[in-house]
Chains A and B, each alone.
Chain A
Amino acid sequence: MISKSQQQTTDVSVGEPIETDAVIIGAGPVGLFAVFELGLVDIKAHVVDILDKPGGQCAELYPEKPIYDIPAFPEISGQELTDNLLAQIKPFEPTFHFQQRVDALQKLPDGRFQLTTDIGQVFITKVVVIAAGGGSFTPKKPPYPGIADYEGRSVFYAVRQREQFRGKDILIVGGGDSALDWVLNLQPIARSMKLLHRRENFRAAPDSVNKMRALVEAGKMEFHLGQITALHGENGQLTGVTARHGKGPEFEIACDTLLPFFGLTMKLGPIAEWGLNLHENLIPVDTEKFETSIPGIYAIGDINTYPGKLKLILSGFHEAALMAHSAHRVVHPDKTLRFQYTTSSSSLQKKLGVKAS
C-alpha cells in the first residue's frame, strides 16, 4: 500500500519556470476538487504533490477502506473517491507535478508568487492554494542511537540518485515494498547487498520477496532476521550495525550504507516558514474566502483552521468553492463573476464539455 514513490524519484525532471494562474499544493481529494472549482471560474491550475500519485491520504493510507460521509455516496473507498474526482476534473486538464515538495514561497514585486520545489522546479503564479492536509508524506526515521550523525552521508531514507550507491556495501532494513524494491534495484550495482527484517513474512509483494529469496539462494545477497540495536562508525561514515532477532544473541552486520524503509509519516514541512501565522501547525483562514494572512494565498482542507472547523472531506469541498470565487477576483480582476449552476448554465456546461440540454 505504501507507494514506490522513493523509487521513482529519478524519473522526475525539472523544466523551465512555469507561469500560471494557480498552483495547488497537495493532490488529495480537496486539492483535486479545487481544480474543478477553479476551472469553473476559468482558472487553470498546476498541482504539486510529494507522492507519486493523486489522492493524498485517501490513496496512500486507506485506498481500500470505505468512507461513509461523502454526500450522495453511502459508501465509497479512498481510491474510488480519488478516481471519481480525477474523472470530474478531467475537462480542466490540470498539470500534475508529483514527487515534489514546494519548499520555498516568495512574494514577487508584481504581486505574484514564486514557488520553488525541492528539486528546483519554479512556478510563478497569481494565487496559491494550500491543500496540504496533514502535511507532506516523509520517510519515518528509526530511533537507532546516533543515527542523525550518519544521515545524508551513509544513512539514507530515499534514493534520489541510484548511481550514488554503485560499489557500496548496502544494508536495507524493512519488509515493505520500498525495502524489497530497492533491494532488487540496487543489488546489481552494489558491492554487497544485505536485507535485515524482523520476521520471515513480508508485507511487500510476494513476487519481490520471491526474487529476493532467489538472489539469496544464488549467493548474490544476504538476508538476516532481526532488528538493529546499534550503529557503528565514525565521522558520519557507517562501518556496520549490531542487530538482534527476538531474544536471540546479538550479531554484527558490516555495511557502509544503510537504507531504512519504515513507511511514511506526515510532516508539516516548509509551510511553517512561509509567514502564515500558524496556529498549532494549522493555517488560520477566514470563512468567507478561506484566505490566509497573506492575500492571494488560500488554505483549504485539513491544513486550515477557523472557528468550528471540522476536518472532513466535505468541508474541504465547500472551502474549495468559496476559495475559487475569491481567487477569480485576483486572477481576473477585470471580469465580474456571475454565480451559475452547472445544471442550467450553458457556459459552465461548455467548460465541462457536456452538451447543454
Chain B
Amino acid sequence: MPKITFIEFNGTEHVVEGEVGQTLMEVAVKHSIPGIEAECGGACACATCHVYVDEAWLEKTGTPKDTEEDMLDFAFDVRDNSRLSCQIKVTEELDGLVVRLPEKQY
C-alpha cells in the first residue's frame, strides 16, 4: 500500500498507508491527521482539505481541474503547489508522496 507523509504546519510528520482508489483526504481523515477538516466530505465544496504538494511530486499528482481551482479561491495562502486533497486519488505511483498542511483551513 502506498505510503503517504502528511506534515502538519507545526512540522509534525505523519507517515500513513493509503489504499489505492481512496482520495488523499480520505486517507487523512481515516488516520485522524490534524489539520484536514474536510467539512463537505469530499464534494469539492468547502476548501477545508487544502494541502501543499511537495515540489518533487507535482508531476505525479497532476494539476487541479477548473472546479478545484475555483474552490481554492476559498482557501488561505494558496500557492502554486496548492491542492484540495479530496481531489487527489491515491495510486501505486504516489507511494512516498509528501504533502504539507497550511496554517489554517477555515
Which A residues fall within an 8 A CB radius of B? 1-2, 57, 61-62, 65, 134, 140-143, 174-176, 197-199, 201-203, 227, 246, 262-263, 265-266
Are the C-beta atoms of B69 and A142 separated by less than 8 Å? no
Min CB distance, A17 to chain B, in Å? 35
Q: Tell me the B residues contacting A by CB distance below 8 Å.
A: 39-40, 43, 45-48, 69-71, 73-80, 103-104, 106
Contacts of B80 in A (CB 8 A): 246
Contact between chains at B74 and A62 (CB < 8 Å): no
Contact partner of B46 (CB less than 8 A), chosen from A61, A141, A143, A201, is: A61
Which of A1, A140, A142, A197 gathers most chain B CB within 10 Å?
A: A140
Most A-side CB within 10 Å, residue of B39, B46, B103? B46
In the docked arrangement, what's the CA distance between A265 and B38, Å?
11
Q: Is A1 a contact partner of B45 (Cβ separation < 8 A)?
A: yes
Contacts of B47 in A (CB 8 A): 262-263
- Residues from chain A with a CB closer than 8 A to the CB of B77 are 143, 227
| Residues on the B chain within 8 Å of A143, using CB | 76-77, 103-104
Q: Is the interface of A mostly helix, strand, loop or mixed?
A: loop
On whether the beta carbons of B45 and A175 are closer than 8 Å, the reply is no
Minimum CB distance partner of A144 in chain B: B76
Contacts of A62 in B (CB 8 A): 40, 43, 45
- Complex Cα spacing A346 to B48, Å: 50
Main secondary structure of the interface of B (DSSP, over half): loop
Contact across chains for B69 and A265 when beta carbons are under 8 A apart:
no
- CB pair B39–A134 under 8 Å, yes or no, is yes
A143→B78 CA distance, assembly (Å): 12
Contacts of A65 in B (CB 8 A): 43, 45
Shortest C-beta distance, B37 to chain A (Å), equals 8
Q: List 29 A-B contacts (CB under 8 A).
A: A57-B40, A61-B39, A61-B40, A61-B45, A62-B43, A62-B45, A65-B43, A134-B39, A140-B74, A140-B76, A143-B103, A174-B73, A174-B74, A175-B73, A176-B74, A197-B73, A198-B78, A199-B69, A199-B73, A203-B70, A203-B71, A203-B74, A227-B77, A246-B80, A262-B73, A262-B75, A263-B46, A265-B39, A265-B46
Residues of A within 8 A of B79 (CB): 246
Query: Given the known A-B contacts A62-B43, A143-B103, A198-B78, are A265 and B48 also in contact in the complex, defined by CB atoms under 8 Å?
Result: yes
- Add 14 more A-B contacts to A141-B106, A143-B77, A203-B74 (CB < 8 A): A57-B40, A61-B39, A62-B40, A140-B106, A143-B76, A143-B104, A176-B74, A199-B69, A199-B73, A203-B71, A246-B79, A246-B80, A265-B46, A265-B48
> What chain B residues lie within 8 Å of A134 (beta carbons)?
39
Closest partner residue, chain A, to B48 (CB atom): A265
Q: Is the CB of B78 within 8 A of A265?
A: no
A140 cross-chain contacts in B, Cβ below 8 A: 74, 76, 106
Q: How far is the CA of A66 from the CA of B79 in the complex (A)?
A: 31
User: Lowest 7 A-B CB distances belong to which pairs?
Assistant: A203-B70, A263-B74, A265-B106, A143-B104, A175-B73, A61-B45, A62-B43
